[in-house]
Structure 1
Amino acid sequence: MSGLFDVTGNNPQGELGNGAIFEESEDFNTWDLLDAVEYFDEMRDHLNDRTRYRPPLMRDQLLELHQLAMDAYPDGNKETLAKLYDRAENLESIAFDLMMQAEKIHIILEKLTRTEPENLRGY
C-alpha cells in the first residue's frame, strides 16, 4: 500500500510548503523500519551478552583465538590446531549472523534513502 507522509511529521496529508512529499514505494514502507529494529535486536544478542560496562564476549574470544594462533603457528601440535579451528568456526558463525542482520538493516535503509525527493537533497 502506498501512502504519503510529511517529511517533518507536521502534516498528515504529506504536503510541505516547498512541495516535498515522502511517498512510500513498492520497495519500501514504514513497517520495514520495524523489521530493522528486530534485526538489530538479533545482533544485540551477540553484542550485549555481558554485564553492564563489559565488552561483548566475542571480543575476549577473538583475543583468545589470537593467543591460540600464536601457540599453534608455526609448530603447534594437532590438539592446539584442532582447538584453534573449532573456535574459529564458532566465531565465524557468529560473525556471519551479525553480517546477515547488518545486511538486512542496510537493505531497508537503502530502500528508504532511495525514496528521498530531489528537492530535499542538500537541504
Structure 2
Amino acid sequence: SEKMMIFYAECARAKRAVEKAISACSVGSQDILNWHYVKQLTVVETKLHINHHLGHSTFKNADEVACLEFAEACDRISMQMNCNLEILPLFLNFDDNDEKAGTKREQNGNKIGTK
C-alpha cells in the first residue's frame, strides 16, 4: 500500500503540473487545450467555443500553437516540480541528432523555429 500511496502522490503532482502548464499558455491556447483535449470535445464543438479567439488563423494552426505552448510550459513546469518522467514524459526532445538536422535545414534556407 505504501507503493500505491507514493504512486498516487506522483500522479497528483503530474496532474498539477499539467494544470499549471495549461494556465501558463495564452488565453486562446488555454481554450483549445481545455475544450478539445481536457473536455474531449470534437473539433467542430471546440470551434464553437473558441471562435472569437482565432481571428484569421485556422483551427489547425491555432491547435499547433496551443500544443507547442503546452509542450514548452509542461516540460519546464514538470522539471521544476520534479515529476516522474514515466508518468509525465518530456514533450520536446533536443538531442545531437536534432541539432545536426536543424543545421542542415538552416543551410537549405528552411528554418524551423521550434520542434
What TM-score comes out, normalization by structure 2 length?
0.30
* Larger fraction in helix: 2
TM-score by length of 1: 0.28
